């Protein structure tokens, strides 16, 4: 692993609990120069919130040009370390590199095309300081290309573009898993449950994911009393690329989600892997579908388009699941 810049982070006294606030390592993983401006904005939003002893790790996923750009850009910032991913290509490998190279008591992850809102880092760290809380995730608000949600894009499917979706808790709550765009864990999570699996997750632009879901479920299996919290009252903004505001991407992402959930179910069992998804299908989607049909009945063609995309998205996700679990030979 190439560590381009090294800083010294605070450490805990050996064998004794510390009353000081936990030191945070914030990891931002990047793989393409096409998001260079986004990466700079993400790093700036974190630097504005770092306290003494905190660090920001910019982990570059197998892209020498981007590594050189980042090393040059952030060379004057003592809080930042630019690191080449030493794992396999993909987001899981980059995140695992951040875990291995970081020094903080808690490790917080922010996507390279997201910007942390005011007070985000402090709130994440404070939540992880609570007894029994091992993981935490914040809300992620979409920043649409033209500033407006497409009429055909139902808010219940904002997970397609890596954002919080309608149907999640509206108050801080215990959840099964966090979303990867903005999440944090206590360091001992990775001693208890291991690191992010390279058998699931995103590689480049491949529209799959769920590596954080699998990790959270694995943590719960090994430490049933571990609490994972979702904080809807603190947020990051997540830039939605124009290429992702197209029906073709929407359906590819749904197919990829089905594939990812199938791979997670192979690793941790279908019951645990699909608990949240079953509730989503039973409780969230019927209300959303009815709302969009009422919208269409009032003369808004966007309602019909959104209802159609929901039905197609659910069907395509199911197809992705079947491809991996049945056709792939791993059983239903």
Token pair belonging to 35 = 């998001």
Residues 108-131 pLDDT 10s: 999 999 999 999 999 999 999 999
Residues 288-312 pLDDT 10s: 999 999 999 999 999 999 999 999 9
CB 119 within 8 A of CB 95: no
Q: What is the 3-state secondary structure (H, E, C) of 93-128?
A: HHHHHHHHHCCCCEEEEECCCEEECCCHHHHHHHHH
What is this structure's pTM?
0.88
- Please name the residues in contact with 68: beta carbons below 8 A apart, sequence gap of 6 or more: none
Closest CA to 228 of 81, 120, 127, 147: 127
Pairing of strands 227-239, 173-174: antiparallel
Report the sign of the C-alpha dihedral through residues 177, 181, 186, 189, in that order: positive
Lowest mean pLDDT among 40-44, 86-90, 241-245, 303-307: 86-90
3-state helix, strand, coil in the chain (%, to 5): 45, 20, 35
Task: Give the pLDDT confidence score for residue 18 in this predicted structure.
Answer: 53
**Domain enclosing residue 91, as ranges:** 24-245
Does residue 294 form part of some domain? no
Residues 14-52 pLDDT 10s: 444 456 779 999 999 999 999 999 999 999 999 999 999
Does residue 285 form part of some domain? no
Length of the chain: 332
- Give the domain CATH number at 230: 3.90.550.10
**Residue 51, number of CB atoms within 10 A of its CB:** 13
Does residue 274 form part of some domain? no
Question: Taking phi first (over 0 means left), then psi (-120 to 50 degrees means alpha), and beta for anything else, what does residue 146 get?
Answer: alpha
CB 91 within 8 A of CB 29: yes
Burial category of 172 from C-beta neighbours within 10 Å (exposed 0-12, middle 13-18, buried 19 and up): middle
For the cut 60, the answer to whether the pLDDT of residue 170 exceeds it is yes
How many domains does the chain divide into?
1
Does residue 301 form part of some domain? no
| 203 confidence band (pLDDT: 50, 70, 90) | low
Does residue 77 form part of some domain? yes
Query: Which 3 state secondary structure label does DSSP give 81?
Result: strand
Question: What is the C-alpha to C-alpha distance for residues 256 and 163, in angstroms, rounded to an integer?
Answer: 16
Question: What is the C-alpha to C-alpha distance for residues 246 and 241, in angstroms, rounded to an integer?
Answer: 10
């Amino acid at each position: 692993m190439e560590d381009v810049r090294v800083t010294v982070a605070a450490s805990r006294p050996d064998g004794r609990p510390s009353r000081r606030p936990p030191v945070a390592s914030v990891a931002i993983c990047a793989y393409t120069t096409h998001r260079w401006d986004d990466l700079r904005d993400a790093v700036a939003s974190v630097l504005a919130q770092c306290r003494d002893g905190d660090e920001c790790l910019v982990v570059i996923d197998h892209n020498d040009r981007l590594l050189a750009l980042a090393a040059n850009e952030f060379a004057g910032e003592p809080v930042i370390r630019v690191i080449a991913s030493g794992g396999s290509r993909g987001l899981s490998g980059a995140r695992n590199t951040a875990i291995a190279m970081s020094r903080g008591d808690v490790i917080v992850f922010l996507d390279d095309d997201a910007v942390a809102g005011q007070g985000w880092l402090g709130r994440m760290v404070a939540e992880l300081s609570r007894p029994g809380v091992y993981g935490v995730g914040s809300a992620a608000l979409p920043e649409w290309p033209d500033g407006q949600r497409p009429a055909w894009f139902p808010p219940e499917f904002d997970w397609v573009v890596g954002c919080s979706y309608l149907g999640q808790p509206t108050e801080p709550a215990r959840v099964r898993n966090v979303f990867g765009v903005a999440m944090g864990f206590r360091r001992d999570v990775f001693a208890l449950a291991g690191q992010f699996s390279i058998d699931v997750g995103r590689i480049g632009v491949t529209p799959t994911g769920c590596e954080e879901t699998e990790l959270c479920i694995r943590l719960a299996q090994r430490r049933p009393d571990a609490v994972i919290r979702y904080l809807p009252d603190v947020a990051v903004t997540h830039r939605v690329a124009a290429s992702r505001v197209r029906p073709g991407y929407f359906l590819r992402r749904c197919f990829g989600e089905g594939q990812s959930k199938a791979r997670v179910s192979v690793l941790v069992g279908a019951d645990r892997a699909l608990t949240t998804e079953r509730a989503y299908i039973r409780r969230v989607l019927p209300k959303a579908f009815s709302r969009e049909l009422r919208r269409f009945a009032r003369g808004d063609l966007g309602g019909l388009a959104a209802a159609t995309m929901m039905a197609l998205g659910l069907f395509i996700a199911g197809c992705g699941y079947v491809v991996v679990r049945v056709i792939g030979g791993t059983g239903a």
